């Protein structure tokens, strides 16, 4: 049986609302733990997997190249990243974490990210249903 689009959209809006309404506290705690504005921590997370160009960083952050450059300049001043020429494209710059950047990233990731009260108050059966539903959704997207 196919669900009406309005039901699916209503579920989606509930999920988005829960996330948007409850992330502020966690973001503040991450900022306190790292000494960085959350936007800079977010950039560190994108840089962490390995060297990334400024253009790739901008795309992954959903911003433009000048904004990514400002973020990298700040992170570089703090000793959290290093920037260097791309070996295959002299016009491009690569950015990677320093040891201090990795330590700062670990501090931010150590901040507990618990589910909001609206979810923890659900019954065990409801949570089991959500696990089943979101596992199925994850498989559909390939994750």
Asked whether the whole model's pTM tops 0.75, one would answer yes
Sign of the torsion formed by the C-alpha atoms of 113, 117, 119 and 124: positive
pLDDT band at 1 (very low <50, low <70, confident <90, very high): low
CATH number of the domain within which 47 lies:
1.10.10.10
Classify residue 79 as left (phi > 0), alpha (psi -120 to 50) or beta: left
pLDDT tens digits, 15-39: 999 988 889 999 999 999 999 999 9
Number of domains in the chain: 1
d(CA 9, CA 58): 29
DSSP state letter for 85: E
The answer to the question of residue 140 being in a domain is no
Which two structure tokens, joined as six digits, stand for 122? 């659900």
Find the domain containing 75 and state its range: 32-112
Helices (H), 3-123: 5-34, 38-47, 54-61, 65-77, 99-109, 117-120
pLDDT tens digits, 37-82: 999 999 999 999 999 999 999 999 999 999 999 999 999 999 999 9
- What are residue 84's DSSP bridge partners? 94
The answer to the question of residue 12 being in a domain is no
- Average confidence score pLDDT of the chain: 92
pLDDT tens digits, 79-111: 999 999 989 888 888 999 999 999 999 999 999
The answer to the question of residue 39 being in a domain is yes
């Amino acid at each position: 049986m196919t669900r009406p689009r309005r039901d699916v959209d209503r579920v989606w809006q509930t999920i988005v609302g829960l996330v948007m309404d409850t992330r502020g506290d966690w973001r503040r705690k991450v900022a306190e733990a790292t000494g960085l504005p959350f936007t800079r921590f977010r950039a560190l997370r994108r840089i962490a997997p390995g060297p990334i160009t400024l253009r790739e960083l901008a795309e992954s952050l959903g911003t433009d190249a000048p904004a990514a450059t400002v973020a990298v300049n700040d992170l570089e001043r703090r000793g959290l990243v290093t920037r260097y020429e791309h070996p295959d494209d002299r016009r491009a710059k690569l950015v990677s974490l320093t040891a201090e950047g990795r330590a700062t990233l670990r501090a931010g990731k150590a901040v507990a990210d618990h589910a909001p009260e609206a979810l923890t108050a659900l019954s065990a059966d409801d949570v089991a249903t959500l696990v089943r539903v979101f596992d199925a959704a994850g498989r559909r997207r390939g994750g």
